[in-house]
């Protein structure tokens, strides 16, 4: 029998082994030395590809930024933009809550980046979005929620193989809009497959959770915010509601009645109002392009008001793509929302609010939040759905509907059910809440990570 080493020798061997594991696990090929035009930072950045289907050579692109301070102890947070077909790199990382913001002169530091509180992982999914690709181009015409969830799970499994040092960190999944499908479906698949991630919760902003409720709440939102007349609102409630318009337009079967109501809505709102933020100005240089997307469920809202244009220019620079280890496969340009993905839009009708109930009952923290200036997926529907869910799973209110604060200003309203399900609004925020209200969004994000109620007013 081999003799047992003394404790001091064992300790040394353990430390050496840990160093070796750490060195081997760091994917040097994916490490970003510096992005063109970026200010100096102390945290590490990585970007590259994870192959999720070896036969079809389907690869998803990721961008990972470590927490500003003590990344080893901070949670790991996956961010998924929606669309379906829009980029978590362009919209999420560079427009919303990543460490940098593009300008005409390069990058500036985002003072409210979410990597102040967590290690942030941005994934361009499904293949065909952004820099993600499939060598089998026919794949782009057969993408649905099930395929997306499976690919995202394979991505995570293989990403953790590259970054094993993060396997023990608390893991949370966040996103927005059609992320109302991506986020809970991925979390559910993780639970069903018993994949050993340290999953603690999900948070989704202005999410599509239930087709009829979410889309029909648009009519009330338009009317209550003065975007349409009493007569048009009456037509939406008696002649043809918004879910009917959306469903018929999607299938190419728009009836004369619904076409008339839709035309009246468009006429009254006009093309110079961004329905993703009804209070924001629009970028006049791209207003014609923007108007093409007003009927789509995509993240194209502009507040800065042309920051998305700067992001598009920046990510199409060859030196930027080289620094990100990114490539364009079968495409000439990077776009914030895919021009090749032909998602099965019938999947919009899949209700995901029951999945949230399953996640809550499994003990995961679930937060649904809404920017209150968004008319695309308004807070009216989201709030009603979360409240109904709480009643269905018999979770009593533990924090009654109340204001929450950022500093000494009301930042929104919130309600908590049990100790894991919560709803919140972000006052003055749009569809992309972290962009339009970055400081308030960071306060909400921090409270979610810590599992704490949103702050109340403090006179100190």
Contact, 177 vs 207, CB < 8 A?
A: yes
Range of the domain at 386: 28-211+346-450
Q: Is residue 240 part of a domain?
A: no
CA nearest neighbour of 433 among 412, 417, 448, 408: 412
The domain that contains 410 carries what CATH number? 3.40.50.1820
CA distance 202 to 218: 25
CA nearest neighbour of 274 among 293, 261, 259: 293
**Range in 32-46, 73-87, 271-285, 359-373 with the lowest mean pLDDT:** 271-285
Mean pLDDT of 122-137: 96
Q: Is residue 412 part of a domain?
A: yes
Our measurement of the distance from residue 232's CA atom to the centroid of its chain's CA atoms, rounded to an integer in Å, reads 32
Active site residue ranges: 177, 374, 431
Beta carbons within 8 Å of 407's beta carbon, 6+ residues apart: none
The backbone torsions φ and ψ at residue 269, rounded to the nearest 5 degrees and listed phi first, read -75, -40
The backbone torsions φ and ψ at residue 50, rounded to the nearest 5 degrees and listed phi first, read -120, 120
Q: Which residue has the tokens 């789509």?
A: 296
Q: Is residue 246 part of a domain?
A: no
β-strand pairing of 119-124 with 76-80:
parallel
Q: Is residue 253 part of a domain?
A: no
Mean pLDDT of 81-109: 95
Pseudo-torsion of CA 412, 417, 420, 423, nearest 10°? -30
Q: What is the pLDDT of residues 308-361, one digit of tens each?
A: 889 999 999 999 999 999 999 999 999 999 999 999 999 999 999 999 999 999
Q: What is the pLDDT of residues 218-233, one digit of tens each?
A: 999 999 999 999 999 9
Residue 26: its pLDDT value, please? 56
Sign, CA dihedral 23-25-26-29, equals positive
Q: Is residue 324 part of a domain?
A: no
Number of domains within the chain: 1
Query: What pTM value is reported for the model?
Result: 0.90
Q: Is residue 87 part of a domain?
A: yes
pLDDT-derived band of residue 104, with 50, 70 and 90 as boundaries?
confident
Q: Is residue 271 part of a domain?
A: no
**Range in 13-17, 54-58, 283-287, 430-434 with the lowest mean pLDDT:** 13-17
CA distance 321 to 307: 19
Q: Is residue 400 part of a domain?
A: yes
């Amino acid at each position: 029998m081999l003799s047992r080493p003394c404790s001091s020798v064992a300790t040394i061997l353990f430390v050496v082994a840990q160093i070796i594991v750490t060195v081997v696990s760091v994917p040097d090929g994916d490490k970003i030395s510096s992005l063109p035009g970026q200010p100096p930072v102390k945290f590490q950045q990585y970007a590259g590809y994870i192959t999720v289907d070896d036969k079809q050579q389907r690869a998803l692109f990721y961008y990972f930024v470590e927490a500003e301070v003590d990344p080893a102890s901070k949670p790991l947070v996956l961010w998924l933009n929606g669309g379906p077909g829009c980029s978590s790199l362009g919209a999420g990382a560079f427009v919303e809550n990543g460490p940098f913001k593009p300008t005409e002169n390069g990058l500036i530091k985002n003072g409210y980046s979410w990597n102040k509180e967590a290690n942030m992982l941005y994934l361009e999914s499904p293949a065909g979005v952004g820099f993600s690709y499939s060598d089998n181009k026919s794949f782009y015409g057969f993408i649905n929620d099930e395929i997306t969830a499976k690919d995202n799970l394979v991505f995570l499994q293989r990403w953790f193989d590259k970054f094993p040092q993060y396997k023990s960190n608390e893991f949370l999944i966040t996103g927005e809009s059609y992320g109302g499908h991506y986020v809970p479906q991925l979390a559910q698949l993780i639970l069903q497959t018993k994949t050993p991630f340290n999953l603690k919760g999900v948070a989704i902003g202005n999410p599509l959770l239930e087709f009829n409720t979410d889309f029909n709440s648009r009519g009330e939102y338009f009317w209550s915010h003065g975007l349409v007349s009493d007569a048009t609102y009456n037509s939406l409630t008696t002649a043809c509601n918004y879910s009917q318009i959306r469903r018929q337009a999607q299938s190419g079967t728009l009836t004369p009645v619904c076409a008339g109501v839709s035309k009246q809505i468009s006429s009254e709102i006009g093309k110079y109002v961004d329905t993703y933020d009804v209070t924001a100005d629009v970028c006049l240089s791209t207003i014609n392009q923007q108007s093409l997307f007003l009927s789509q469920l995509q993240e194209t809202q502009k507040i800065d008001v042309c920051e998305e244009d700067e992001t598009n220019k920046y990510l199409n620079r060859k030196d930027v793509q080289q620094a990100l280890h990114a490539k364009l496969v079968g495409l000439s340009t990077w776009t914030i929302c895919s021009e090749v993905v032909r998602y099965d839009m019938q999947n919009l009708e899949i209700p995901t609010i029951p999945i949230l109930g399953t996640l809550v009952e499994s003990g995961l923290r679930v937060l649904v939040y809404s920017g209150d200036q968004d008319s695309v997926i308004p807070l009216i529907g989201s709030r009603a759905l979360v409240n109904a869910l709480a009643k269905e799973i018999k979770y009593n209110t533990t924090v009654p509907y109340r204001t929450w604060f950022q500093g000494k200003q009301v930042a929104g309203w919130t309600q908590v059910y049990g100790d894991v399900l919560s709803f919140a609004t972000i006052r003055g925020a749009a569809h992309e809440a972290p962009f339009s209200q970055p400081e308030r969004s960071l306060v909400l994000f921090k409270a979610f990570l810590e599992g704490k109620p949103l702050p109340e007013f403090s006179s100190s």
